[in-house]
Amino acid sequence: IDRFVVTMGNRIIVITHDGRVFGHDINGNTVGQGFAFAGSKVAFNGPIDRFVVTMGNRIIVITHDGRVFGHDINGNTVGPGFAFSGSKVAFNGAFDRFVVTAGNRIIVTTQDGGVWAHDINGTTVGPGFPMNFSLGHFTFAGDISAANRQRTLDRHRFALTRIAACGNLSADERTRLHQAYDRAIHHTTLNQAGVNASATVGGSQLNVNFGVLFPQGDEEISQTLIHEMVHCAGFTHPKRRDPPAGSSCAAPNPAVFDCPGDNGVYFGTAPLRAEFCIAGDQSDVRSRLRAKAASESCVIDEHGEAVLHTEAARQPLGAP
């Protein structure tokens, strides 16, 4: 009958399967007599309600699908339930194992020891962000050297530190990207001329061309990884359109062709906007084109494979 037990100040609160709420006040080492709270029932929706925690004078209920509800406590009375807005919390099935609170933060611990947090502002749940960066659930093909594995993980961790505060992604996009990082992503070696990396839209594998990508430096590595991880999160984009003859990105026209930073149908999509989280610009801005003497574009084939090219036999975007 008794399902959840939480604390609130010096009080133990017991919630039954049918949503009744009881309390015991603690005085030193003595547990006081149990009493019933008046007011609303709490967490009575059977298996739908999964976690119950407290924050200040508020009981918070988290459902299996990540919705968050609250009840404010006034003395011995439970206030009516209300829904929080914002991000979902702990919705990854059995993978999310524990939920606790610390201050105004909800903290979720996963089966593999990952720790994710959501800051609460009033009745709004902020986007989830990682508090540790072990990425122990990421795997690598046997032909990838220890040094390349470590550098790849380091650049993934750097990308993770930038996601939560990245204003170039919406709350939903950040949440879905964090979900992708919470999956077991497998890394393989890609040996294709002029290609940085590839991934299948909605998939769980990154194919990295270490010989092409890694010499371009840490910033480019993180931009490429976050771009491909957004594809793993399920986001896509159309093929990039080059400027027609007589046009260039010196005079952008997003209705006709695509230029870095134009927020158009190619560069305005989530995989390209995610690159701003790393460096504040996109990886094929004209200055980089000149530096690398090549263009960069991501092409998605009919099977959903997104291939990020770093060199292409085409006219550079900045050329007339």
216 and 73 within one domain: no
Residue 311 has pLDDT above 70, yes or no: no
Tabulate helix, strand, coil % of the chain (nearest 5).
25, 30, 45
Angstrom distance (rounded) from CA 71 to CA 20: 13
Model confidence pLDDT, tens digit, residues 213-261: 999 999 999 999 999 999 999 999 999 898 999 998 889 999 999 888 8
What is the amino acid identity at position 149? R
201 and 301 within one domain: yes
| Nearest CA among 228, 238, 223, 177 for reference residue 207 | 228
State residue 297's pLDDT score. Answer: 79
146 and 126 within one domain: no
State residue 62's pLDDT score. Answer: 98
Last residue of a domain, one of 130, 163, 187: 130
Angle at 24 between CA 19 and CA 27, to 5 degrees: 160
Distances (CA, A) of 287 to 131, 167, 260, 281, 295: 35, 23, 11, 11, 11
Q: Is the four-CA dihedral 124, 55, 103, 96 of positive or negative sign? A: negative
Q: What is the pTM of this model?
A: 0.60
Last residue of a domain, one of 96, 130, 164: 130
Token code pair at residue 226: 């976050």
State residue 288's pLDDT score. Answer: 44
Q: Is the four-CA dihedral 181, 267, 202, 96 of positive or negative sign? A: positive
**Cβ-based burial of 154 (10 A; exposed 0-12, middle 13-18, buried ≥19):** middle
34 and 180 within one domain: no
Distances (CA, A) of 35 to 11, 42, 183, 264: 11, 16, 44, 61
Last residue of a domain, one of 78, 108, 130: 130
- The angle that helices 171-181 and 146-163 make with each other, rounded to 10 degrees, is 150
State residue 53's pLDDT score. Answer: 98
Backbone angles phi, psi at 288, to 5 degrees: -75, -35
State residue 315's pLDDT score. Answer: 38
143 and 83 within one domain: no
Query: Would residue 125 count as lying in a domain?
Result: yes
Residue 24 has pLDDT above 50, yes or no: yes
| Nearest CA among 108, 90, 110, 104 for reference residue 49 | 90
| Nearest CA among 315, 273, 319, 43 for reference residue 163 | 273
Strand partners, 107: 100, 117
Q: 224, 197 in Cβ contact below 8 A? A: yes
Strands of 205-208's sheet in order across: 139-140, 186-189, 205-208, 195-200, 305-309, 297-300
Number of H helices, E strands in the chain: 7, 23
Strand partners, 49: 63
**DSSP 8-state assignment for residue 111:** T
| Cβ contacts of 263 within 8 Å, gap of 6 or more | 254
State residue 290's pLDDT score. Answer: 36
How many folded domains does the chain comprise? 2
Output the domain CATH number for residue 39: 2.130.10.10
The per-residue pLDDT of the chain, averaged, comes to 88
293 and 170 within one domain: yes
Output the domain CATH number for residue 238: 3.40.390
153 and 295 within one domain: yes
Model confidence pLDDT, tens digit, residues 245-301: 999 888 999 999 988 888 899 999 999 999 989 987 776 543 343 343 335 678 888
90 and 198 within one domain: no
218 and 283 within one domain: yes
Angle at 309 between CA 162 and CA 199, to 5 degrees: 60
Structural domain range at position 48: 2-130
- Beta pairing, strands 139-140 & 186-189: parallel
